[in-house]
Amino acid sequence: MKHKRMLAVVSLGLAGAMMLSLVPTVTAARNCSIRGLVSTPAGAPARSVLVVLRQGGNERGRALTGDDGRYFMGRLEDGTYAVAVERGQSTLYTGAVQLSGDVQYDIRLR
Protein backbone atom coordinates (compact mmCIF):
# COMPACT_ATOMS: atom_id res chain seq x y z
CA MET A 1 0.00 0.00 0.00
CA LYS A 2 2.85 2.39 0.67
CA HIS A 3 3.91 2.13 -2.95
CA LYS A 4 0.46 3.02 -4.27
CA ARG A 5 0.27 6.15 -2.13
CA MET A 6 3.69 7.31 -3.21
CA LEU A 7 2.81 6.72 -6.83
CA ALA A 8 -0.34 8.83 -6.45
CA VAL A 9 1.65 11.72 -4.96
CA VAL A 10 4.17 11.58 -7.79
CA SER A 11 1.39 11.50 -10.35
CA LEU A 12 -0.24 14.58 -8.85
CA GLY A 13 3.12 16.32 -8.85
CA LEU A 14 3.64 15.62 -12.54
CA ALA A 15 0.10 16.67 -13.40
CA GLY A 16 0.62 19.94 -11.52
CA ALA A 17 3.91 20.53 -13.29
CA MET A 18 2.23 19.88 -16.63
CA MET A 19 -0.52 22.39 -15.80
CA LEU A 20 2.06 25.03 -14.87
CA SER A 21 3.89 24.56 -18.14
CA LEU A 22 0.71 25.43 -20.04
CA VAL A 23 0.46 28.90 -18.47
CA PRO A 24 1.58 31.50 -21.07
CA THR A 25 4.52 33.66 -20.11
CA VAL A 26 4.13 37.41 -20.13
CA THR A 27 7.08 39.61 -21.00
CA ALA A 28 7.46 43.34 -20.49
CA ALA A 29 9.14 43.85 -23.87
CA ARG A 30 7.20 45.51 -26.65
CA ASN A 31 7.93 46.00 -30.27
CA CYS A 32 9.11 49.61 -30.11
CA SER A 33 10.52 51.82 -32.81
CA ILE A 34 12.27 55.16 -33.05
CA ARG A 35 12.32 57.53 -36.01
CA GLY A 36 13.34 61.08 -36.49
CA LEU A 37 15.11 63.83 -38.34
CA VAL A 38 18.73 64.81 -37.75
CA SER A 39 19.43 68.37 -38.80
CA THR A 40 22.49 70.63 -38.89
CA PRO A 41 22.77 73.77 -36.72
CA ALA A 42 21.42 75.73 -39.72
CA GLY A 43 18.38 73.41 -39.93
CA ALA A 44 19.40 71.52 -43.08
CA PRO A 45 19.10 67.71 -43.14
CA ALA A 46 22.20 65.97 -41.80
CA ARG A 47 22.94 63.42 -44.52
CA SER A 48 24.81 60.16 -44.00
CA VAL A 49 25.33 60.42 -40.25
CA LEU A 50 25.05 57.34 -38.05
CA VAL A 51 22.44 57.27 -35.26
CA VAL A 52 23.37 54.66 -32.63
CA LEU A 53 21.29 53.37 -29.69
CA ARG A 54 23.04 51.79 -26.71
CA GLN A 55 21.69 50.24 -23.55
CA GLY A 56 23.90 49.15 -20.68
CA GLY A 57 26.97 49.84 -22.83
CA ASN A 58 25.78 47.45 -25.57
CA GLU A 59 24.76 48.60 -29.02
CA ARG A 60 21.06 47.84 -29.64
CA GLY A 61 20.53 49.54 -32.98
CA ARG A 62 22.02 51.77 -35.67
CA ALA A 63 20.74 53.63 -38.70
CA LEU A 64 22.31 55.82 -41.33
CA THR A 65 20.37 58.97 -42.18
CA GLY A 66 19.20 59.39 -45.74
CA ASP A 67 19.48 62.43 -47.99
CA ASP A 68 16.49 63.88 -46.12
CA GLY A 69 18.25 63.47 -42.73
CA ARG A 70 15.71 60.88 -41.55
CA TYR A 71 16.40 57.62 -39.73
CA PHE A 72 14.37 54.66 -38.43
CA MET A 73 15.03 51.70 -36.12
CA GLY A 74 12.45 49.06 -35.21
CA ARG A 75 12.13 45.85 -33.21
CA LEU A 76 13.42 47.45 -30.01
CA GLU A 77 12.40 46.73 -26.42
CA ASP A 78 10.92 49.17 -23.91
CA GLY A 79 13.54 51.03 -21.95
CA THR A 80 15.95 53.91 -21.75
CA TYR A 81 18.61 54.18 -24.44
CA ALA A 82 21.68 56.34 -24.91
CA VAL A 83 21.57 58.03 -28.32
CA ALA A 84 24.64 59.10 -30.26
CA VAL A 85 25.05 60.68 -33.67
CA GLU A 86 28.40 59.85 -35.22
CA ARG A 87 30.29 60.68 -38.39
CA GLY A 88 33.50 58.71 -38.80
CA GLN A 89 35.36 58.84 -35.48
CA SER A 90 33.53 61.99 -34.31
CA THR A 91 30.54 62.04 -31.98
CA LEU A 92 28.29 64.92 -32.99
CA TYR A 93 25.52 64.43 -30.42
CA THR A 94 24.73 62.44 -27.27
CA GLY A 95 21.45 62.19 -25.43
CA ALA A 96 18.94 59.75 -23.98
CA VAL A 97 15.49 58.55 -24.98
CA GLN A 98 12.79 56.48 -23.25
CA LEU A 99 11.10 54.03 -25.61
CA SER A 100 7.59 52.77 -25.01
CA GLY A 101 5.90 52.08 -28.31
CA ASP A 102 6.72 54.20 -31.33
CA VAL A 103 8.75 57.34 -30.61
CA GLN A 104 9.59 60.39 -32.73
CA TYR A 105 13.05 61.70 -31.71
CA ASP A 106 14.38 64.62 -33.75
CA ILE A 107 17.97 65.79 -33.22
CA ARG A 108 19.40 69.24 -33.96
CA LEU A 109 23.19 69.15 -34.07
CA ARG A 110 25.20 71.98 -32.50
**Per-residue confidence (pLDDT) for residue 103, from 0 to 100:** 97
pLDDT, one tens digit for every residue, the chain (110 residues): 555 554 444 444 544 444 444 544 444 556 999 999 999 999 999 999 999 999 999 999 999 999 999 999 999 999 999 999 999 999 999 999 999 999 999 999 99
Residue 73's CATH number: 2.60.40.10
Number of structural domains (the chain) is: 1
Instruction: Let me know if residue 65 belongs to a domain.
Output: yes
**Per-residue confidence (pLDDT) for residue 29, from 0 to 100:** 58
Overall pTM > 0.75: no
Radius of gyration of the chain (CA): 24
Separation of alpha carbons 58 and 12, rounded Å? 45
Instruction: Let me know if residue 42 belongs to a domain.
Output: yes
Residue 92: domain span: 32-103
